[in-house]
Structure 1
Amino acid sequence: MRVRLAEPGDVDRLLELMRGLARFEEYIDDFAVTRESVLEQGFGDGRLFTAFVAEQDDDLVGMAVVYTIPWTYTLRPKVVLKELFVVEGARNLGAGKALMAAVVSHARSIDAAELIWTVMEGNRAAEGFYRSLGASPDLKWNNWSLSLPAQAPRDR
């Protein structure tokens, strides 16, 4: 198992992994990510996210997608793990742990004060996995959301 930064040549398989997570978490009907959006927002100087991929036998079997909140109350960045997904056939082979180790290393490299993420309600396997890494739920905060309609292209 090898973990590395995703490269533009990985975009098609990375998009498949993102779709796999969307199916698992049941938001595939709202999934709007395209090959072009991954290339535009995940690579280059103005990228909005960083992706790590787990590779086994020349196939990408997992991904971790993170973004950074550059300024917080600690005056240090905060890294947000937005997506972690390993294909079913590669689970329990160390891909998830290797991806998380890469994410932690990345967070430390930018002197982040914290690494945060959310876990889908009822995903006990994920909770157990994260606990095995030494993580614990943040009982101080709960997530809220407000859905906003898309703006017409001319309004953006």
Structure 2
Amino acid sequence: MQIRYAMPCDGAQLLKMMRALAKFEGYLTEFKVNERELKSRLFEQADFKCLVAEDNGVIIGYLAFYPLPFTYDLTPWFWIKELYVNDSMKYRRKGIGKSLMHHLIYEARKQSSTKIKWEVLCSNINAQDFYKQLGASVEQQWQTWSLSTKKAKIDWRF
């Protein structure tokens, strides 16, 4: 197995895994990504970065993340958007997710990043246990909030 940054030729395999994650997390009906858009956002616009785990030419896991600058210490934080390992028992619980996380930690340290953050579904106890084994903890002082742009109450008079 090899961990590396995603390349344009990985698009179809990444998209398949992203759909599998969307199904697992319950938003497959809202999933709108296609291969062309994925390649544009990942490789041309560089909206995010993606590490992949590859085994004999097959992408078996990925970690999508964003480096975000923070103003109070001017170091980047890394925000993990998705971490997914192929749900085949051939790949799960084999250290693939751990290897992806270790590579991200290495990349973060290279860029003088001071923190990596992410969200976990409350119902995903396996993921929570996995992250705890890496030394992560749930932040108690912050809440994650979201605002649907379709439902936002805004005053257009500004």
Who is 1:32 aligned against?
Answer: 32
Who is 1:17 aligned against?
Answer: 17
| Shift of residue 36, structure 1, vs aligned partner | 1.5
- The two structures have a TM-score, normalised by structure 2, of 0.89
Q: Give the distance between the partners of 1:73 and 1:29, measured in 2 at CA.
A: 39
| Shift of residue 136, structure 1, vs aligned partner | 0.8
| Shift of residue 34, structure 1, vs aligned partner | 1.5
Amino acid at match of 2:127: A
> Does the 8 A contact of 1:72 with 1:78 survive in 2?
no
Amino acid at match of 2:4: R
| Shift of residue 72, structure 1, vs aligned partner | 3.0
In the TM superposition, what are the counterparts of 1:85-100 in structure 2 within 5 Å? 85-89=84-88, 90-100=91-101
| Shift of residue 124, structure 1, vs aligned partner | 0.5
Q: Give the distance between the partners of 1:38 and 1:72, measured in 2 at CA.
A: 29
Q: Give the distance between the partners of 1:84 and 1:112, measured in 2 at CA.
A: 19
> Larger RCO: Structure 1 or Structure 2 (Cα < 8 Å, ≥ 6 residues apart)?
1
Who is 1:110 aligned against?
Answer: 111
Who is 2:3 aligned against?
Answer: 3
- The two structures have a TM-score, normalised by structure 1, of 0.90
SS of the equivalent of 1:43 reads: helix
In the TM superposition, what are the counterparts of 1:4-153 in structure 2 within 5 Å? 4-44=4-44, 46-89=45-88, 90-149=91-150
Query: What are the Cα deviations for residues 82-141 of structure 1, in whole angstroms up to 9, with x where unaligned?
Result: 000001121111110011011111111211121000001111000000011111111111
- Which runs of structure 1 show a deviation greater than 6 angstroms over 4 or more consecutive aligned residues? none
Aligned residues: 149
SS of the equivalent of 1:149 reads: coil
Q: Give the distance between the partners of 2:9 and 2:102, measured in 1 at CA.
A: 23
Q: Which runs of 5+ in 1 are unaligned?
A: 151-156
Amino acid at match of 1:106: E
Q: Give the distance between the partners of 1:71 and 1:143, measured in 2 at CA.
A: 17
Q: Give the distance between the partners of 1:67 and 1:149, measured in 2 at CA.
A: 24
Query: How many percent of aligned residue pairs carry the same amino acid?
Result: 37
Who is 1:153 aligned against?
Answer: none
| Shift of residue 37, structure 1, vs aligned partner | 1.6
RMSD value over aligned CA atoms?
A: 1.4
Larger radius of gyration: 2
Amino acid at match of 1:112: S
